[in-house]
């Protein structure tokens, strides 16, 4: 393999020839932000593609989480997962909400419904699960628990763009769902995100919250924030939406190469495919059993780096082990054995539409030997 850098993911770029006319049109319109033409067009296009009725664009993927908690007036304690990117829990902290961590399922990395009920207290108001690696949570069981105890459910679907359960969008579950359109995601707007809701009234409220609370030129109806997506990124997003299906198909092909190439490698565990799911193949994690593989995870990680293959240890360290959160009772490692095990064993391998088959085979060879 030639000495070139291979990372976990890489943005799929629209052609400059396609993008320049849109930039010229934005300049001609002299409308760069504040719900402009391309912003409105992208919201419509995403609703159609994702199969949802109401979607509000944001400038990144963290602000929809913060705003979702505001929109539902969540307070007190929220049950969530430690196995995620820190933005999930930071959104709670920024809203003055206490995160309560519960352990995860070893087969998916998602929050384990068996652990949720024991964590509910009189101060619990919501559940914040994450569709880890784009694999759907056990949405039916979570709904049953939430309904029984009168809790709201907000799904962090940052990894789950376009994912469906038996042909139903994963974004239709829960009270609200959020997406990330960061450059490393399956679909990106360079930086961006979205909040998916269930009614026109909810969307209007969310749109107020993301624009300082303004409901007209001189009326402020809520203590909102500035988290609007600009026209340049919205235009970029429209172009990227045209090629996302091809990108997902290429990712699926890469996943098959990895699965075939690593299936017999002792000490390497792969996640099982879930039945009835339209996957987006956002990530390809492997889990290293040091005793069986003969090398610990970090040694393999460094070995790959020495070959210019830059995997990512998603998610290590656990959120619950960061200084901000490790003092919480629910963060104690003894309460989270599976999450800690996954965090100590995981490497996400490179997967993106521009990754060549020969590079994938070279990565497999390095890991397998």
pLDDT per position as a tens digit, 176-185:
999 999 999 9
Q: How far apart are CA 294 and CA 321, in angstroms?
A: 27
The hierarchical CATH code for the domain 16-102+109-241 is 3.40.640.10
User: In this predicted structure, what is the pLDDT of residue 3?
Assistant: 60
249 membership: H or E segment, kind and range: helix 244-262
Residues 24-60 pLDDT 10s: 999 999 999 999 999 999 999 999 999 999 999 999 9
155 membership: H or E segment, kind and range: strand 152-156
User: In this predicted structure, what is the pLDDT of residue 1?
Assistant: 44
79 membership: H or E segment, kind and range: strand 77-80
Contact of 176 with 71, CB cutoff 8 Å: yes
Cα–Cα separations (whole angstroms), residue 86 to 5, 136, 324, 361: 26, 19, 10, 32
Residues 101-153 pLDDT 10s: 999 999 999 999 999 999 999 999 999 999 999 999 999 999 999 999 999 99
Phi, psi of 54 (to 5 degrees): -135, 125
Q: What three-state secondary structure class fits 180?
A: strand
Q: How far apart are CA 58 and CA 44, in angstroms?
A: 14
Kindly state the tokens that stand for 34.
């504040």
Q: How far apart are CA 212 and CA 221, in angstroms?
A: 9
Cβ neighbour number for residue 11 with a 10 Å cutoff: 19
Q: How far apart are CA 300 and CA 311, in angstroms?
A: 10
Q: How far apart are CA 196 and CA 38, in angstroms?
A: 18
User: In this predicted structure, what is the pLDDT of residue 11?
Assistant: 74
The total number of residues shown for the chain amounts to 369
Q: How far apart are CA 37 and CA 148, in angstroms?
A: 43
CATH architecture for residues 6-10+244-368: Alpha-Beta Complex (3.90)
Q: How far apart are CA 313 and CA 349, in angstroms?
A: 9
| Strand 277-278 relative to strand 77-80, pairing | unpaired
Q: How far apart are CA 97 and CA 126, in angstroms?
A: 10
Cβ neighbour number for residue 178 with a 10 Å cutoff: 30
Q: What is the mean pLDDT of each run of 10 residues along the chain (369 residues)?
A: 73 86 97 97 98 98 98 98 98 98 98 98 98 98 98 98 97 98 96 98 98 95 96 98 96 97 97 93 98 97 96 97 97 98 98 95 95
Going from N- to C-terminal start, the domains of the chain cover 6-10+244-368, 16-102+109-241
Q: How far apart are CA 26 and CA 229, in angstroms?
A: 14
Instruction: Pick the closest to residue 71 from 49, 56, 88 (CA basis).
Output: 56
């Amino acid at each position: 393999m030639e000495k070139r850098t291979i990372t976990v993911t890489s943005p799929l770029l629209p052609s400059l020839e396609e993008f320049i006319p849109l930039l010229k049109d934005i300049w001609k319109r002299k409308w760069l932000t504040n719900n402009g033409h391309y912003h409105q067009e992208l919201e419509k296009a995403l609703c159609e593609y994702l199969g949802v009725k109401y979607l509000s664009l944001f400038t990144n993927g963290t602000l929809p989480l913060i705003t979702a908690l505001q929109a539902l007036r969540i307070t007190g304690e929220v049950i969530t997962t430690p196995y995620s990117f820190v933005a999930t829990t930071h959104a709670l902290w920024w809203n003055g909400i206490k995160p309560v961590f519960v352990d995860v399922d070893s087969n998916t990395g998602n929050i384990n419904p068996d652990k949720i009920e024991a964590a509910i207290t009189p101060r619990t108001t919501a559940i914040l699960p994450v569709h880890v690696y784009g694999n759907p949570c056990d949405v039916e069981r979570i709904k049953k628990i939430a309904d029984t105890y009168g809790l709201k459910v907000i799904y962090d679907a940052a990894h789950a763009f376009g994912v469906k359960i038996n042909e139903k969008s994963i974004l239709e579950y829960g009270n609200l769902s959020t997406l990330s359109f960061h450059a490393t995601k399956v679909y990106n707007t360079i930086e961006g995100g979205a909040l998916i809701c269930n009614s026109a009234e909810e969307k209007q409220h969310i749109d107020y919250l993301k624009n300082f609370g303004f409901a007209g030129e001189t009326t402020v109806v809520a203590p909102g924030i500035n988290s609007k997506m600009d026209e340049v990124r919205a235009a970029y997003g429209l172009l990227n939406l045209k090629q996302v299906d091809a990108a997902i198909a290429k990712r699926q092909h890469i996943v098959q190469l990895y699965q075939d190439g690593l299936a017999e490698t002792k000490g390497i565990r792969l996640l099982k495919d879930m039945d009835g799911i339209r996957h987006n193949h956002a990530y390809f994690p492997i889990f290293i059993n040091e005793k069986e593989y003969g090398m610990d995870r970090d040694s393999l990680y460094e070995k790959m780096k020495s070959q210019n293959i830059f995997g990512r240890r998603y998610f290590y360290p656990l959120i619950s082990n960061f200084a901000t959160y490790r003092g919480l009772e629910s963060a104690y490692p003894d309460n989270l054995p599976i999450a800690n095990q996954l965090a100590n064993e995981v490497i996400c391998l490179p997967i993106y539409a521009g990754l060549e088959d020969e590079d994938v085979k070279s990565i497999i060879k390095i890991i397998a030997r």
